[in-house]
Structure 1
Amino acid sequence: MSGADAPEILAAYEAVRSDKDDTNWLLISYAGATGSQLTLSKTGTGGLDELAASLDDGQVQYAYVRVEYANDAESKRIKFAFVVWIGPNTKVMRKARAGIEAGNVKKVLAHHSIQVDAGERRDLDEKEIVSRLRKAGGADYNGGRG
Structure 2
Amino acid sequence: MSFENPSEVLEAYEKIRSDKDDTNWLIISYAAAIGDKLKLSETGSGGLAELAEKLDPSQAQYAYVRVEYANDTESTRVKFVLVIWIGEGTKVMRKARVSIESGEVKRVLGHHSIQVDARDKGDLDEKDIVIRLRKAGGAGL
TM bracket, shorter-chain basis: over 0.9
Write the letter of the residue equivalent to 1:43: T
Q: How far did 1:75 drift?
A: 1.1
Q: How far did 1:26 drift?
A: 0.4
In 2 relative to 1, CA 4–10 (structure 1 residues): closer, same or farther, beyond 3 Å? farther
**TM-score, structure 1 normalization:** 0.93
Mapping 1:1-146, distance limit 5 Å: 2-3=2-3, 6-32=6-32, 35-140=35-140, 142=141
Q: State how far apart, in whole Å, the 1-side matches of 2:37 and 2:69 are.
A: 34
Q: State how far apart, in whole Å, the 2-side matches of 1:5 and 1:134 are.
A: 34
Which runs of 5 or more structure 1 residues have no equivalent in the other structure?
A: none
Q: How far did 1:139 drift?
A: 1.6
Question: Alignment identity in percent?
Answer: 68
In 2 relative to 1, CA 16–125 (structure 1 residues): closer, same or farther, beyond 3 Å? same
Q: Are 2:5 and 2:39, in contact at CA under 8 Å, matched by a contact in 1?
A: no
Secondary structure in 2 matching 1:82: strand
Q: Are 2:64 and 2:80, in contact at CA under 8 Å, matched by a contact in 1?
A: yes
Deviations along 1:8-38, one digit per CA (max 9) or x if unpaired, are 1000000000000000000000001783200
Q: Are 1:26 and 1:43, in contact at CA under 8 Å, matched by a contact in 2?
A: yes
Q: How far did 1:136 drift?
A: 0.3
Deviation larger for 57-66 or 30-39: 30-39
Which runs of 5 or more structure 2 residues have no equivalent in the other structure?
A: none
In 2 relative to 1, CA 131–33 (structure 1 residues): closer, same or farther, beyond 3 Å? farther
In 2 relative to 1, CA 87–33 (structure 1 residues): closer, same or farther, beyond 3 Å? farther
Runs of 4+ with >4 A deviation: none
Q: State how far apart, in whole Å, the 1-side matches of 2:80 and 2:32 are.
A: 28
Counting matched residue pairs gives 141
Task: Say which structure is richer in helix.
Answer: 2
Q: How far did 1:97 drift?
A: 0.2
Secondary structure in 1 matching 2:139: coil
Q: State how far apart, in whole Å, the 2-side matches of 1:7 and 1:13 are.
A: 10
